[in-house]
Amino acid sequence: MSRTHSSWIFTAQCPSRIGTVDVVTRFLREENCYITELNSFDDRDSQGFVIRVEFRPEAPEFDSNAFQQRFSSRAAEFDMQFELTAPGTRMPVVIMVSKSDHCLNDLLYRYRTGQLSIDIRAIVSNHPDLEPLAAWHNLPYHHFPITAETKAEQEAQVWQVIEETGAELVVLARYMQVLSTDMCSKLSGKAINIHHSLLPGFKGARPYHQAYDKGVKLVGATAHYINDDLDEGPIIAQGVEAVDHTHYPEDLIEKGRDIECLTLARAVSYHIERRVFLLQKGKTVVFAS
């Protein structure tokens, strides 16, 4: 079990100013809280500051509402926006998927074994193929077919599920549809996508076969927040492995799937543990565990 399950998490973001670390750590000392992990970063390009602290209260009783009220006055001096997350918090999640099951199956395993502190509220797909997998986990499965003519209607159905379930995060676990500008806007900073990252890049059909034909030496995956630029959203995590001439297309595909699973799970973990901060121009700060 990670420390996050037993620690409070404090995160904050504000303009760069002298005393930003001190105002947080001094307050925690005054509140009799022991810091177990601290990360901060000052970005000289955006003149922005971010901080993440894990801590445990030493007093037997801890009033989180009073804690936040008392800190608010100090935060105001720094124009600081902050959030406090309780131990054991399980983020409500909706997973979107098409036909490939490797990322979904991996997330479900980590969910079932408690490796990911998430509460999967529903699985949404444009195909019926993976409904038995959802049923085995006793999870609601929504099949919403989509065509070019029904895209707006289908996305309205998806959005209704997201709102009704109270999902705070949407995970695109190989959902092979391009989301509309409106949907990307609604899910900004709240939806994570995964895709292969072959080096050099190969677009279009059968990318792994193209990579094989060119003798590619690296395969990988990128997990990022979605935006209106296809596969170009703010990056959360990446994975890469070396390959050589002994790897045929089917070997590259298998290795790529493994990397996608690991990279997506890592990105989801970073997000739910409040380790990811978005700065200006889509840059991310990630305090990896």
Q: Which residues are catalytic, by number?
A: 231
Residue 215 CB contacts under 8 Å (≥ 6 apart), including other chains: 245
CB-based contact 259:240 (threshold 8 Å): yes
Helix axes 64-77, 20-30, angle to 10 degrees: 150
Q: What is the DSSP letter of 281?
A: G
Helix axes 102-112, 249-272, angle to 10 degrees: 40
Helix, strand or coil, per DSSP, at residue 277: strand
| Per-residue tokens: 94 | 């909706």
Distances (CA, A) of 75 to 22, 26, 28, 96: 12, 12, 13, 37
CB-based contact 89:168 (threshold 8 Å): no
Distance CA 65, CA 194 (A): 37
| Per-residue tokens: 91 | 């983020």
DSSP helix, strand, coil percent of the chain (3-state; round to 5): 35, 30, 35
What are the strands of the beta sheet with 33-43, ordered from one edge? 33-43, 48-57, 8-15, 81-85
| Per-residue tokens: 123 | 């699985």
Q: Containing H/E element for 164?
A: helix 151-165
Strands 8-15 and 235-242, bridge-based pairing? unpaired
